Chains A and B, each alone.
Chain A
Amino acid sequence: MDLVQQQIWGWNIATYLFFGGLGGATLALGILAELRFNLNKWFGILVSLLGLAILSFGLIWLVIDLINPLRFLLAFWIAGLGHSWIARGMVVIMGSYIFGILYAIAAYYGSTTFKKWMGYIAMFCGFGVTTYTGLLLNANVAIPFWHTPALPLLFTVSALSTGCALLMLILAAMKSHEAEHYFHFVEGFDILLISLELLIIFAYLDFARLGNAAVMKSAHLLLNNPLFTIGFLVLGLITPLILEAFASVKHSAKGLAGVASVLVLIGGFLLRYLITWAGVFQYPHGIAS
């Protein structure tokens, strides 16, 4: 038997992948709200700082997963920038912190041009964090289920969707006209993202159905796990899509969108955990250790 489910990365990494993606997306969407949707400066500052706090919480799990967590400072030694997605990830994470904080400072002092520049660069870095989490897994040639361009796409779309969900929860509690306007934009954007996510998942599983033995085993593991079929697909994807679509037609149904947001967040976490869990090695020597 040469098919072996990977054991190196588990809950810790999945938790990081989720909170990293959520933090990056929250940062980007928070700044977008202030720069393009006329929400006040405090919304921009607090939501971007919330995004960075979520990212920091995720990073704790990444450090815990190191063989020796005390050696985490080596992560700043990014000599492998030209080829390693951990090193590249460190750059976008650092960029998110530096430009996110500079944006918040500029927004506080009302420096319009500087704020705009810092804001757009921070948004780019936040978006980079959402994308790199998928590319990180994608670089593992030994695990064919991860080594497909569908994975970074799926993680990016899912991370943005979880960011939208969190923003909807915050915006639902606000009363202003601008908040209402942005709420409906985020709601519509999330409907598009969940639809895209469903399409990618469908293509991914169809690819796995016709793929090699390791890919087929990964898909088999997922499709036979109720956490994936019921937890993620039904409750974390299809149900919030229906709820949000219904809420978007009925303009006063913010509670419904709130429930959908919580489901999207749970679904996003389950997706990270299950994709990590379902990674299967296919060793060419045919030996499972």
Chain B
Amino acid sequence: MARYGMVMNVHACLGCRACMAACSQWNQTPFWAEDFKGKWRTRVTEIEEGKFPEVKRYFFPTICMHCENPPCASVCPTEATYINKDGIVLIDYDLCLGCGYCIEACPYDARYEYELEDLKKDEFYFGEDARHHQAHVDKCTFCVDRLEEGLEPSCAATCVGHARIFGDLDDPNSEVAKLVNTGKAKPLGPYMGTKPKVYYIK
């Protein structure tokens, strides 16, 4: 049993979006959406702050926060959303009613609808290897299938600038635990009581 978490080092993010590409290929998320429609398990957003000549520009990676007290799970009528033994918030697609209640409840905008037309595209692009077989709500899984094989989540594995640091928060020797325990990395919106397991160095 572990308590997986991630630290996002915003200073180290180059904005190359290789993480988005790697995630969408591995997890077959709707990269085909024409206007992208926000259908990503992870996103990197370009942010510009200030006024000329005092302007700051940086890239901000976002993902499911894998909360310890997830509002998405608390509103789910069928318990399709659950927390596994390693603290990862997952969705059982067979139980997902598709009501969208969890999308409304998530305060981090981490969920989206995997619609019927996305299923067709998934089959078109991936053929027999298509991994989505019914309409459902989708979100980051920390690539739970890769973890079982001893691999890192695809976004962290592909990150060029080591901006995404993944590990076990309960292992005091892990890089994530050190960054979190020293207070260098902080969660987003802790006042909401969601207890996120993704932390940020800003």
Given the known inter-chain contacts A8-B103, A71-B134, A79-B78, please indicate yes or no for A287 contacting B62, CB distance below 8 A: yes
In contact, A67 and B135 (Cβ under 8 angstroms): yes
> Is B107 an interface residue when CB atoms closer than 8 A count as contact?
yes
Tell me, yes or no, whether A182 is within 8 Å of chain B by CB.
no
Nearest CB of A to B155, in Å = 16
CB-defined interface of B90-127 with A at 8 Å, one 1/0 digit per residue? 00000111111101111111000111100000000000
The 0/1 profile, CB within 8 Å of B marked 1, for residues 45-82 of chain A is 00000000000000000000111100110110111100
Say yes or no: A66 contacts B74, CB within 8 Å.
no
CA distance A85 to B137 in the complex (A): 18
Cβ contact within 8 Å between A140 and B75: yes
Q: Does B188 contact A139, Cβ atoms closer than 8 Å? A: no
Query: B172 to chain A: closest CB distance in Å?
Result: 27
Which of these, B95, B115, B192, contacts A77 with CB under 8 Å?
B95
* Neighbour of B77 across the interface among A9, A87, A284, A286, CB < 8 A: A87
A90 at the interface (CB under 8 A from B): yes
Closest to B39 in A: A289
> CB distance B108 to A71 under 8 Å?
no
Q: How large is the interface on B (under 10, 10 to 19, 20 to 34, 35 or more residues)?
A: 35 or more
Q: Which residue of B lies closest to A4 (CB)?
A: B109
> Chain A: interface residue count, which band?
35 or more
Contact, CB under 8 Å: B95 / A9: no
Do B137 and A141 touch (CB < 8 A)? no
Question: Of A72, A86, A141, which is within 8 A of B71 by CB?
Answer: A141
Q: Which of B79, B108, B116 contacts A285 (CB 8 A)?
A: B108
Residue of A with least CB distance to B71: A141
With contact pairs A281-B107, A284-B108, A289-B38 given, residues A8 and B98 touching in the complex (Cβ less than 8 Å): no
In this complex, what residue of B is CB-closest to A141?
B71
A140 to chain B, nearest CB (A): 5
The minimal Cβ–Cβ distance linking B138 to chain A, given in whole angstroms, is 10
Cα distance A143–B101 in the bound complex, in angstroms? 12
Q: What residues of B have a CB within 8 angstroms of the CB of A279 in the complex?
A: 104
**Contact residues of B between 58 and 86, Cβ < 8 Å to A:** 60, 62, 71, 73-79
Quick check: B78 and A77 within 8 Å, CB to CB? Answer: yes
In the bound complex, do residue A71 and residue B97 qualify as a contact, i.e. CB atoms below 8 Å apart? yes
Establish whether residues A80 and B78, one from each chain, have CB atoms under 8 Å apart when the complex forms. yes
Q: Is the CB of B100 within 8 A of A139?
A: no
Most buried by A among B74, B97, B113, B194: B97
User: Are A283 and B77 neighbours in the complex by a CB distance under 8 Å?
Assistant: no
Which of B71, B77, B107 meets A78, CB within 8 Å? Answer: B77
Q: Are B76 and A80 in contact (CB under 8 A)?
A: yes
Tell me how far the C-beta of A141 lies from the nearest C-beta in chain B, rounded to whole angstroms: 5
Q: What are 6 A-B pairs with beta-carbon distances under 8 A?
A: A4-B109, A77-B95, A87-B78, A140-B75, A281-B109, A289-B38
* B interface, CB within 8 angstroms of A: 38, 43, 45, 47, 60, 62, 71, 73-79, 95-101, 103-109, 113-116, 134-137, 188-189, 192, 194
Q: A80-B79, A281-B109 are in contact. List 4 more A-B contacts (CB 8 A).
A: A8-B103, A67-B98, A67-B136, A142-B107
